Amino acid sequence: MFTRLALRMAATVLVTFVIFAPLSSLVLWSFTRRWSWPHPFPQELALFYWRKVLEGDLFRALQSGFLIAVIVTAATLVLTVPLAYLLARYPVPFKAVILLVFLLPHAFPQLPVFVNTTTLLYRVNLAASFSGVVLIHMVGALVYAVWTMTAVFRSIPESLEEAAWNLGASRLKTFLTVALPLATPGLVASTLLVFLYSLDEFTGTLLVGSPFVLTLPVYMYRTSVGYELQVASIAALVLMLPGLVLLVVLERHLKSEYLSMFGRL
Amino acid sequence: MAAPPLAIVVWLFFVPFLSSAHLSFLRDGQWSLQNYALVWRLYKIDVLYTLGISLLSLALVIGIAALVCGYIRIVGHRAVEFLFKVPLFVPFVVVGHGMRVLLAPRGTLNSALAQVGVVDLSDPPSVAFTWIGIVISLVWKNLALAVLLVLGAYRAVDEPFLEAARNMGASTFRQIRDILLPMSAPSLVVASAFMFTSMLASFSIPLMIGGGEPPHMLMVDVYYRINYQDDLGTANALGMVSYLFAMGVAGYYLRTITARPL
């Protein structure tokens, strides 16, 4: 009995260490004012860099990234909800082809494709612009939303809508008063994850946005490879925060179908 | 109603995808296989390097997830279950940076280990900027998804099977090996196929934690080819190689899910 308890404790400690080792290093570095090698710990801890960074470029990157994510999420929601409902309920023509198109970005490496997307956007003068970045985020966001939201509508029993039709409700009224309210929790979860996707997107933003549009992941990458370790660590912590909040809120409801996409951020 | 979202994905993914294939066969405006010849000459090691790293990371992820999930499923451990979900929402760039800070020669891990006398600070070993750093980062990030998928499959296995095994005196390990694993094999195959493509296509982690010298992982090669050589032809030929692997995995995946009775 005692050894079992000890084993459980050991497992918790080990896993905590493995999971938090890279994350706690970030926390340590973010508060470091001076840490010269080979000192085991920072010689001077301070809020210096936090203060410095939150007033400067980091805040601007956060702001534009946030704005992009809001626009991407709103547009995705408006475009996807009707489509997902149609795909889940009606015999849409060429349904297989449509679903295949929405499967492609999921099944192929994105970077080499986005390289060509960037060339394409240059031709229509949208590269290195705010709208270009919104558009490139829309690709991943739409794919993700179409798959999850179709699944959400499919999980609602069709008999409820049939009952509404039998009582004389129109298709539109049925959708608005029966299907939509029932689907709301699933749609909210999916929407939150679309928002997080856009906030964390790196590859497309780096290719399409450079050099003018700076979001937090790109800013963090630049500072990290430029060895501005304190600044990068603060950016990393700020970037991680929304995801961790979401994890705590959604933990019980996390289903694999909502998350497979997050293998690719 | 389907038109606008479909148009965006076709315009910004499907068309560039085709143009990627097209451009890979063009050199100076002429049809040629020169780009592929260059890929063969310069990048065959990198292709093997990418495959090797992806396969090793995948084996580690699936192996660890199979055992950890078995433990969580049979014995139960809420804290460990929660902890393993944390990397799920930590973006790849943050993982890359965190691992740089942790594993670099002058990183926090060496610093901490030196305190207990394991590491000699005058000649600190470097794990970051090598293939080991990439593998550790990929495993760390992908474990969360693997645990989620495998645990889902394990939880779908009915309790009486495990009870029967326990009554016959099977240890936790035997229950995992002889009951949970075989019964959830199809889900494991799907999870593996999916993760293999995402590891093959991983970009920010090898970009941040891979070494400066070749070999690089494929996506990093594509990026450097564009950024430093401005050579779309070869970059796209490299891209085509990665699509081929992804296509192979997708084919395998489709065959598995269609072969399974619904």
Determine the pLDDT at residue B67. 94
Local structure of A231: helix, strand or coil: helix
Asked if the model's pLDDT at residue A135 lies above 70, the reply is yes
Interface of B with A in 149-208 (CB under 8 A): 149, 152, 194-195, 197-198, 200-201, 203-204, 207-208
pLDDT band at B214 (very low <50, low <70, confident <90, very high): confident
pLDDT band at A85 (very low <50, low <70, confident <90, very high): very high
Q: Which amino acid is at B244?
A: L
The closest alpha carbon to A259, from A151, A165, A178, belongs to: A151
Region of residue B235 (phi > 0: left; psi between -120 and 50: alpha; otherwise: beta)? alpha
DSSP H stretches of helix in B75-184: 78-85, 92-103, 108-115, 131-155, 159-167, 172-175, 181-183
Q: Which of A37-51, A113-127, B143-157 has the lowest mean pLDDT?
A: A37-51
Give the Cα separation of B92 and B84 in Å (integer). Answer: 16
Whether the Cβ atoms of residue B207 and residue B129 lie closer than 8 Å to each other:
no
| A112/B219 CB distance under 8 A | yes
Q: Please give the pLDDT value at position B95.
A: 94
Closest to B220 (Cα-Cα) out of B238, B203, B205, B235: B203
pLDDT tens figures, A199-226: 999 999 999 998 889 999 999 999 998 8
Give the up-direction half-sphere exposure of residue B198: CA atoms within 13 A in the CB hemisphere. 23
List chain B residues with CB under 8 Å of A15: 79-80, 83-84
pLDDT at residue A103 is higher than 90: no
What is the predicted pLDDT for the residue at A1? Answer: 66
User: Is a pLDDT exceeding 70 seen at residue A262?
Assistant: no
> Does residue B93 belong to the interface with chain A, where contact is any CB pair within 8 Å?
yes
Which of B11, B85, B242 is closest, CB to CB, to A251? B85
* Strands A32-34 vs B26-27: parallel, antiparallel or unpaired: unpaired
CA B191 from centre of chain? 11
Structure tokens at B58: 């995948």
Lowest-pLDDT range of A136-140, A153-157, A235-239: A153-157
Contact B150, B69 (CB under 8 A): yes
Q: Answer for the pair A71, A134: CB distance below 8 angstroms, yes or no.
A: yes
pLDDT value, residue B126: 79
The pairs formed by B202-205 with CB atoms below 8 angstroms and a separation of 24 or more are B202/B92, B202/B138, B203/A111, B203/A202, B203/A203, B203/B92, B204/A202, B204/A203, B204/A221, B204/B92, B204/B93, B204/B96, B205/B92, B205/B95, B205/B96, B205/B99, B205/B134, B205/B137, B205/B138, B205/B141
Alpha helices in chain A (DSSP H): 2-30, 48-55, 57-89, 95-107, 110-123, 130-154, 158-166, 171-174, 180-200, 203-204, 216-225, 229-250, 256-259
CA distances to A35, A49, A92, A97, A144 from A102, rounded to whole Å, are 49, 43, 15, 9, 8
B125: left (phi over 0), alpha (psi -120 to 50) or beta: beta
B27, β-bridge pairs: B30
Question: Which pLDDT band, with edges at 50, 70 and 90, does A227 fall under?
Answer: confident
> What pLDDT does residue B112 have?
79
Q: Please give the share of chain A, as a percent, with pLDDT higher than 70.
A: 93
Between CA A27 and CA A34, with CA A32 as vertex, the angle to 5 degrees is 160
Mutate to test the interface with B, among A150, A205, A256 (most CBs of B within 10 A): A256
Complete DSSP assignment for B191-214: HHHHHHHHHHT--HHHHHHS-SSS
Positive or negative, the Cα torsion across B246, B249, B254, B255? positive
* CB of A33 closer than 8 Å to CB of A49: yes
Least confident range from A69-78, B6-15, B186-195: namely: B186-195
pLDDT, average across residues A127-136: 93
- pLDDT on residue B233: 92
Q: Is the pLDDT of residue A254 over 80?
A: no
Residues of B in contact with A124 (CB under 8 A): none
Phi (first) and psi of residue B126, to 5 degrees? -110, 125
Residue B142 has pLDDT above 60, yes or no: yes
Residue carrying structure tokens 């509508």: A153
Structure tokens at A103: 């499967």
pLDDT band with cut points at 50, 70 and 90 for residue A264: very low
Can you tell me which residue has the tokens 């009224």? A173
Whole-number pLDDT of residue A140:
92
Peptide bond into A38 cis (omega under 30): yes
Q: Directed axis angle between helix A57-89 and helix A180-200, to 10°?
A: 140
pLDDT in tens, B231-245: 999 999 999 999 999
pLDDT of residue B255: 80
Asked if residue B123 has pLDDT above 80, the reply is: no
Average pLDDT over all residues of chain B: 89
CB B89 within 8 A of CB A196: yes
What are the CA-CA distances from residue B84 to residues A19, B76, B103 (Å)?
A: 7, 14, 20
Quote the pLDDT of residue A265. 39
Q: What is the pLDDT of residue B16?
A: 95
* Residue among B2, B87, B235 minimizing CB distance to A115: B235
Q: Which two tokens stand for residue A106?
A: 């999921």
Q: Residue A257: pLDDT band by 50, 70, 90 thresholds?
A: low
Average pLDDT, chain A: 87
**Which pLDDT value is given to residue A46?**
76
pLDDT beyond 80 at A5? yes
Q: Do A240 and B90 touch (CB under 8 A)?
A: yes
pLDDT digits (tens, 9 = 90+) for B71-106: 999 988 888 988 998 998 899 999 999 999 888 877
Residue B12 has its nearest CB partner, among A16, A139, A264, at: A139
Q: What is the pLDDT of residues B2-42, one digit of tens each?
A: 688 899 999 999 999 999 999 999 988 889 899 999 999 99
CB B94 within 8 A of CB A240: yes
- Reading the block at residue A196, the tokens are 């997080």
Q: Residue B30's beta-bridge partner residues?
A: B27
What mean pLDDT is predicted for residues A13-31? 88
